[in-house]
Amino acid sequence: MYGYHGKYLRINLTEGTVKVEKLDLDLAKKWIGGRGLGTKFFVDEVDPKVDALSPENKLIAVTGPMTGTTAPTGGRYMVVTKSPLTGTIASSNSGGYWGAELKFAGYDMIIVEGRSEKPVYVMIEDDKVEIRDASHVWGKVTSDATRTLMKEVPEKSRVMTIGPAGEKQSLMAAVMNEESRAAGRSGVGAVMGSKNLKAVTVRGTQKVAVSDEAGLKEVIKTCNTKIRENGVTGQGLPAYGTAVLVNIINENGAFPTNNFQSSQFATAEQISGELMAEKYLVKKDPCYRCPIACGRYTKVDDIEGGGPEYETIWAFGGDCGVDDMGAIIKANYWCNEMGLDTISTGTTIAAAMELKQKGLLDGEDLGGLPLEFGSAEAIVEWTKKIGMREGLGDKMADGSYRLCDAFGVPELSMSVKKQELPAYDPRGIQGQGLSYATSNRGGCHVRGYMISPEILGLPEKLDRFALEDKAPWTKIFQDFTAFIDSSGLCLFTSFAMGAPDYAALFNAIVGTDLDGNGVLEAGERIYNLERVFNLEAGITPSEDTLPKRLLEDAIAEGPSKGFVNELSKMLPEYYQLRGWGTDGVPSKERKDQLGV
């Protein structure tokens, strides 16, 4: 068996049992791994109508066949569950080293079921797996929990943990690993918290067997050359990290500002990647076997740690009207410590700022804290309040949709399917709007990164305001991404690598004969499986939409002035290309063709 170990752990926290089960290799090859394989297991085992925070929901941490191999960036894993934030299938990806270590321990994934009566953590050391008491780390922030556990688990273990936000079941809670890496989105940390599972530590000493050692070396050489010679992966990301996007998106007038009330931030230079490199960067902070090394490690005053990423800088910066990079670094730090998704946390604070601006928060106890757009103190302090569910932070911890809905103005939540939108205004980038609206986990940029063709010109430049061709491009990006998310590699490799490169890696590792089209077909199969789950979970196609503001209120100033997102002109073609019928439901023929 190559690429996969062919076994996984089933951990039942209600019963306190751990079982090693055999993985069906044909099933694995069909669903690849990671997002695809995790979703297949989840869909087969869990009722789509399940309450996401009940013991009946399951949490799957799953690697891909390339995880733990020598393939570039092969350290990624997915957390698959039903999202308590969106009610959709959730799969949140994380880098760092935990995923590769799970593979070294001899497992392709772990399935966590039930709920423990008391806080526990799981210790994995190759064949030895124990469910242990975690009462001494319950309540601890991410770094403290990680360092405390490191003293009692085998040396060189990797720690995946939740922070206080996950324990308190914030719907924006992340699953953290290596202190600053996050399976960030869709509230997967809340599911872990609902199971009374604080952490999973893992240490392994095994190798991942590959089908064709010599062939793999050659393919990796080719891929590494492409990564090195590509301007984005070879120069831009290594030099500045993702933060370099601040100026690009802002220059295009598509940098949402003050909760998407405008689309260009006058002082963006103050929170740019260039400024971060000049004033705050300590060192690079790369993941397992990554030749790109986009991860940053920054320091301000007495606070230091991993990040911040572009999305984080935008969420706490432009979207909250804050141009204080030091404060953004601190807010990012507290998100890591509390175990919070930085996109949803920053944008929920931005939504609260608009509630305050509109006079809707009168009478609410703000505990003397500011909540005005532009307040550096607000982004740091409210992040802590959200993590601890204190004061208004308790309501904010459930995300911007539920917060704004509680004040009778759900339309002020800049979200899709209740998950907060990331850092690109779809009024100025039309295809990205279609991608947001049709993402299977709600508001998200990494399910079909249309920024690549519409802004960066990769693999070719599209007119960002044009509507034609956006549906086929979005579909291809979504399907391609679903494969990469399943492989165990980082999505950023796709700036330099194409579908045939992933097929070549997959074949050398697993021993198959997939081609570029097979990569896209596997991705499309996964996309449809997720769609079918969401429909069965009660998420109707009417939710394939964008916030009213982005569909009706034209951008008032800047290079994108005068535009709204023209979703209704792109969506019918998209449904047609997917074989979903005019009602957005996958046809039986399409499902049969794909084997869903």
Closest to another protein by CB, 237 or 320: 237
Dihedrals phi, psi of 26, to nearest 5 degrees: -65, -40
Q: How far is the CB of 400 from another protein (least distance, A)?
A: 21
Q: Does 469 engage in binding with another protein (CB under 8 A)?
A: no
Closest to another protein by CB, 192 or 245: 245
From 23-31, 166-174, 191-199, 461-469, span contacting another protein (CB under 8 A): 461-469
Q: How many chain residues bind another protein (CB under 8 A)? A: 43
Q: Does 331 engage in binding with another protein (CB under 8 A)?
A: no
Question: Residue 343 is encoded by which pair of tokens?
Answer: 């996109």
Q: How far is residue 48 from each of residues 39, 194, 355, 398, 416, measured CA to CA in Å?
A: 12, 18, 34, 21, 19
Q: Does 185 engage in binding with another protein (CB under 8 A)?
A: no
DSSP secondary-structure letter at 173?
Answer: B
149-178 binders of another protein (CB under 8 A): none
Please return the burial class of 595, using the count of CB atoms within 10 Å of its CB with bins 0-12, 13-18 and 19+.
exposed
Q: Does 242 engage in binding with another protein (CB under 8 A)?
A: yes
Q: Does 458 engage in binding with another protein (CB under 8 A)?
A: yes
Q: How far is the CB of 153 from another protein (least distance, A)?
A: 33
CA nearest to 91, candidates 165, 35, 161 = 35
Task: Identify the H or E element spanning 237.
Answer: helix 237-240
Q: How far is the CB of 246 from another protein (least distance, A)?
A: 9
Q: How far is the CB of 269 from another protein (least distance, A)?
A: 8
CA nearest to 486, candidates 438, 518, 452 = 518
d(CA 195, CA 512): 38
Q: Does 452 engage in binding with another protein (CB under 8 A)?
A: yes
Q: Which of 366, 369, 476, 491 touches another protein by CB under 8 A? A: 491
Closest to another protein by CB, 88 or 560: 560
Dihedrals phi, psi of 153, to nearest 5 degrees: -115, 165
Closest to another protein by CB, 237 or 509: 237
Q: Which of 300, 388, 446, 467 touches another protein by CB under 8 A? A: 446
d(CA 541, CA 555): 27
Closest to another protein by CB, 446 or 594: 446
Q: How far is the CB of 354 from another protein (least distance, A)?
A: 25
Q: How far is the CB of 180 from another protein (least distance, A)?
A: 17
Q: Which of 41, 42, 240, 527 touches another protein by CB under 8 A? A: 240
Q: Does 455 engage in binding with another protein (CB under 8 A)?
A: yes
Site string for another protein, 525-564 (x = CB under 8 A): ---------------------------------xxx----
Q: How far is the CB of 312 from another protein (least distance, A)?
A: 12
Question: Residue 182 is encoded by which pair of tokens?
Answer: 């996050």
Q: Which of 17, 235, 540, 587 touches another protein by CB under 8 A? A: 235
Q: How far is the CB of 479 from another protein (least distance, A)?
A: 17
Closest to another protein by CB, 304 or 463: 463
Which residues fall within 8 angstroms of residue 485, CB to CB, at 6 or more apart? 34, 35, 36, 78, 91, 93, 491
CA nearest to 60, candidates 40, 34, 81 = 81
d(CA 500, CA 374): 46
Q: How far is the CB of 23 from another protein (least distance, A)?
A: 31
Q: Which segments within 126-271 are labelled E, that is strand? A: 128-133, 158-161, 175-177, 181-183, 197-203
5-64 binders of another protein (CB under 8 A): none
DSSP secondary-structure letter at 494?
Answer: G
Closest to another protein by CB, 69 or 565: 565
DSSP secondary-structure letter at 340?
Answer: B
Which residues fall within 8 angstroms of residue 491, CB to CB, at 6 or more apart? 93, 446, 449, 481, 484, 485
Q: How far is the CB of 174 from another protein (least distance, A)?
A: 17
From 70-78, 109-117, 236-244, 580-588, span contacting another protein (CB under 8 A): 236-244
Q: How far apart are the first and last CA of the chain?
A: 24
Q: Find where tokens 């733990």 sit.
A: 68
Q: Does 474 engage in binding with another protein (CB under 8 A)?
A: no
DSSP secondary-structure letter at 262?
Answer: B
203-232 binders of another protein (CB under 8 A): 230-232
Q: How far is the CB of 295 from another protein (least distance, A)?
A: 12
Q: Which of 207, 279, 461, 548 touches another protein by CB under 8 A? A: 461
292-321 binders of another protein (CB under 8 A): 294, 309-311
Please state the length of the chain.
Answer: 596
Please, what's the b/e burial string for 250-268 (b: 16 or more CB within 10 A of its CB; e: otherwise)?
bebbbbbbbbbbbbbbeeb
Q: Does 453 engage in binding with another protein (CB under 8 A)?
A: no
The residues that bridge with 124 in the sheet, in sequence order, are 129, 202
d(CA 37, CA 56): 20
Q: How far is the CB of 85 from another protein (least distance, A)?
A: 20
Q: Which segments within 163-241 are labelled E, that is strand? A: 175-177, 181-183, 197-203
Q: Does 445 engage in binding with another protein (CB under 8 A)?
A: yes
Cis peptide before 459 (omega within 30 of 0): yes
248-267 binders of another protein (CB under 8 A): 248, 251-253
Closest to another protein by CB, 8 or 424: 424
Q: Which of 244, 327, 343, 499 touches another protein by CB under 8 A? A: 244
Please write down the HEC assignment for all residues of 63-89: ECCCCCCCCCCCCCEEEEEECCCCCCE
Dihedrals phi, psi of 192, to nearest 5 degrees: -60, -45
Please, what's the b/e burial string for 40-58 (b: 16 or more CB within 10 A of its CB; e: otherwise)?
bbbbeebebebebbebebb
From 91-99, 140-148, 368-376, 447-455, span contacting another protein (CB under 8 A): 447-455
Closest to another protein by CB, 280 or 310: 310
Q: Which of 114, 273, 346, 443 touches another protein by CB under 8 A? A: 273
Residues that bind another protein (CB under 8 A): 230-232, 235-237, 239-245, 247-248, 251-253, 269, 273-274, 294, 309-311, 445-446, 449, 451-452, 455-458, 461, 463-464, 491-492, 495, 558-560
